[in-house]
Every structure is written in structure tokens, then in C-alpha cells.
A and B are shown apart, each in its own frame.
Chain A
Amino acid sequence: MATSGPVTEKALKLLRNLPRVTIANLKDLPGNQRKYDKRRGLKKGRSHGRGTKGQGQRMTLPRLGFEGGNTPFYLKVPQEPYYRGHHLRREYPPLSLLQLQRMIDLGRIDADEPIDLTTLCNTNLYHIELHKRHFGVNLTDEGADVFAAKVNIEVQWTDEVTIAAIERNGGTITTRYFDPLSLAAVVNPLRFFSRGIPIPKCKLPPEDALEFYMDPKNRGYLADQEHISEGRLELAQKYGYKLTDIQEDPMFDMLTKRKNPSQVFFGLNPGWIVNLKDKCVIKPVDEQYKTYYAS
């Protein structure tokens, strides 16, 4: 768009000066409008498109769903209380420790960097489908006995054996929640940045999930760090392995890297807009914006 011609200039001038265009102040071109057909006259009169005699012409058709007397479909299928609320339940598609180890062995995942849901989805070996009520990754314990990588991993659901398997190798695991908009950003950051909207601040989990993420036994991101350290010792005693001192680990900084509860990406704060074309990050300077996104 090097130079704009007179028609474009006029259009832009209109856009700047006229009120907002709404459905209420638009009209179709004369040739595209279709008249409402009242069905009067020689050809359209007589039965007025309703056929001959019967219920169709006389407006005595039965209710919608009626099938002539047999039990209609909408009554034939019984209710099943087992599936009540099924459409509201959150799903966490599983990823086993064996699969994770295989990804690390083949260089699909770099174990020297923190692993989160974005890393897993970027391998293109694990997928999250938002329209199927997926809310994150469930790290399962299949392959707990062969798992040998020291990782800092952030998942959405896990169990005790998996936590023990990761901590046994000197790694750390955290469970955290992503709300749907944040999850869309996490699962496909490239698509999210292309939208040009600010990075969202991640909301707190819903009530039924809050307990899980506040429990240090699940290494929840909302739990107390002291209780988590105690939990690490407990698990080591329960499963019979020696817990190495994480502070003396050369990878201590990487292993203790955590996101804030409202932060979605490492190194990027909520409120920022990523410009992929010009390879820069746009940050708001206005105090109102800053306080909102920092809260």
C-alpha cells in the first residue's frame, strides 16, 4: 500500500468522521434485496404453497418429535445418571514417564531447560485439543523404574509414584493450572502470538481443582514451599532412595526456575504483546495497565 488513491482517502475520511457502522445503519444494494413474497395472485394464490387438504394445509400438524404413536426418539433413550455433568469434566490426556524419557533420549526435548506444556506440545508428539475439554498433561507412572533424566517439569496432573520417580533422579516437578485462554496460548504460542493480543494473566483454578493445586503432596504451585521440601523427604523415605541436596546441584538455577501463579510463559509477563514480524515485544507503559497485569 504505497500510495492511497482518492477513493481510499474518501473512505478513510468517512471512517474517521461518521458514527460507528452497525447493522442498524446499513442497507444492501438495491439489486441484492429480495422482496418478501406474500403469495397473492393467480399463480401463488389458491392453496398458497400449503398443498392439498390434510394437516399440512389445515395447520393441525402434531408437536415436533411426534412419530405417529410409537415412542419417539427423544423419549426412547433413557437418562443415565453416570454421565451427568460429563460435559463439564476436565480431561488431562496422559503422557507416560517412558514417553518422556524417549523424547529426551532422541533429543526432541532438551532436559537442560525447564519442561512445561509448551515444550511437550512443540515436540508434535503430544497434543492437547481444547475443544475436547483438555486442560493439560497428566504425567503417568508407566516407565517410572527406567526414568533416569534430571528435569524441571511443570504438568497439570500427576500422582505420587511419578513425583517420586522424578525427585529420585534429582529433578523437580510442579503441578499448575491454566485457564482456557492461557491454555490456548501455552499449547500453541505461535498461533497465539499471531493474534496480536496481550499475553493473558493466568486465572486461579476453579473451586473443585483449588484443593489439588494447594496440596504440597501434589507439588501444587499454590502450596507452601516449606511443606513441599518436607514432602520430598517423606517420599524419599517412603520409596527408599537418597534425596540429593538440590542446593549443591550445578543445575540449581534451572531446577528452581518457576513461573508466577499468573505467568504463562517463562521470561514474558502478562500484558505484553509479541510482534513476530518485527521480532520485538511491546510492553505497556501506562500505570493502570501495569497495575492490572501485575495484580
Chain B
Amino acid sequence: MAASMLRRIVHDANKLPIQVTFSKAKQLLLARSVTELSDRPNPLNKDDYPSVEISTEDFKYVERLLPNPLIPDPPNHEVYPTPSGWQPPQESALDHPYFINRTSSHHLPLYLNTRAAGRQRLTTVRKIDGDIWKFEEDLRHYLETLTEEPIITQVHEVARFVRVKGYHLDDVAKFLMEKGF
């Protein structure tokens, strides 16, 4: 009788795209357990599952764990530069025929490239607006006062950057911050 019930269900199922095949042994096994089939939990009935407690107050702890998708504005400090050496752009930056914009994370657009297995180092200043050649001239004169080594630079007018051969990150950073950028 149990097996015939199963065959009826399978007959109904045969009209659907999935084909389910049973061996005779499995049929016998299922025949024994067919009375327990109705005891299976119905996902549409909440009483079949263990009870839980829903809390909306504790969600505030979850909100603290979620990341902020936007970069926040830097807070106002009493003294500059800050302990880590950061300084916001000053108004004296507008006095020059060129302007160096800050990056989206509020840092100077100053980068170091290391190429040729460490033998070649290039210091790049990006995001230059205005008279780029004047900027290169001022930067070169400043660096020449600090070292006897020749200062070799590259000006890229279209991509708006100036490159200096060698490691000059600290010196260029000081130059830019003195100018107020």
C-alpha cells in the first residue's frame, strides 16, 4: 500500500522535467518510512522550527561593524602639522602660478617608482595645474641647493606630472608643504 502511494507520487512527478529513478531496495526502504513523511517540517509553518528571539536593539552593534563607503573629511586639529606629520593645504598655495591638488585621501600627490631591480628610482609629482614649466624650474632650483648631484627632471604636459630622477620624497614633500599645497 505504501509502495503504491509512492508510485502515485512518482507518476505525478514524471510529468516534470526531472526524472527520479528508484531501485527496488530503495522502494522497500521508503515503503517503511512513508508514514514519517508527513512529519517532515513544512518551511511555510513556523511552529515546525525551534523558537528564536528577534532583537532590534542589538543591531546597533552590527552597524558599528559595517564599513564607511566614503572617505571622511579630515577633522580640525588645533596644531599643525599633526603628530603623523600631516598638514592641510594653506591659503598661501594660491600665490603661485601653479597649483598642486591633493589626492582623494587628502595626501600630497607625491609618488616613488622603483624600477630596474632597484637601480632606478623616480620621484613623481602629479595633479599639477597652471604653469607646469615654472613649477619644474622652482623645484629643480630648490633641489639643486640641497645636493651637488645633477637634478634630472621630466615634464609631461598632457598627463600633468613632473618626474625627478632619484629618491627625493622628503625634500619634495617639504618643498610642497612650504609652498602651502
Contact = CB atoms under 8 A, between A and B. Distances in A.
Interface of A: 7, 10-11, 14, 16-19, 21, 25-27, 29, 98, 101-102, 104-108, 113, 118, 121-124, 143, 146-149, 189-190, 193, 265-268, 272, 274, 276, 279-286, 289
Interface string B58-78: 111110111110011111010
A105 B74 contact: yes
A279 B56 CA distance: 7
Most buried by A among B18, B56, B59: B59
Contacts of A267: 58, 60-61, 64
B3 to A, nearest CB: 14
A122 B61 contact: no
B17 to A, nearest CB: 7
Given A14-B13, A285-B50, 12 more contacts: A10-B12, A19-B26, A26-B20, A29-B19, A108-B71, A190-B65, A265-B61, A266-B61, A267-B58, A280-B55, A281-B55, A286-B51
Given A105-B74, A107-B74, A284 B13 contact: no
Nearest to B106: A106
19 contacts: A10-B16, A14-B9, A16-B42, A21-B20, A26-B18, A102-B85, A105-B77, A106-B72, A106-B75, A113-B64, A122-B65, A124-B67, A146-B83, A146-B84, A189-B62, A265-B65, A267-B58, A280-B56, A286-B50
Contacts of B84: 98, 101-102, 104-105, 143, 146
A284 B50 contact: yes
> Which secondary structure dominates chain B's binding surface?
loop
B142 interface: no
A143 B37 CA distance: 67
A27 B37 CA distance: 23
Contacts of B52: 282-285
Interface residues of B, number: 45
B40 A101 contact: no
A27 B21 contact: yes
Contacts of A26: 18-21
A25 B26 contact: yes
Given A105-B82, A106-B74, A146-B84, A283 B55 contact: yes
A284 B20 CA distance: 37
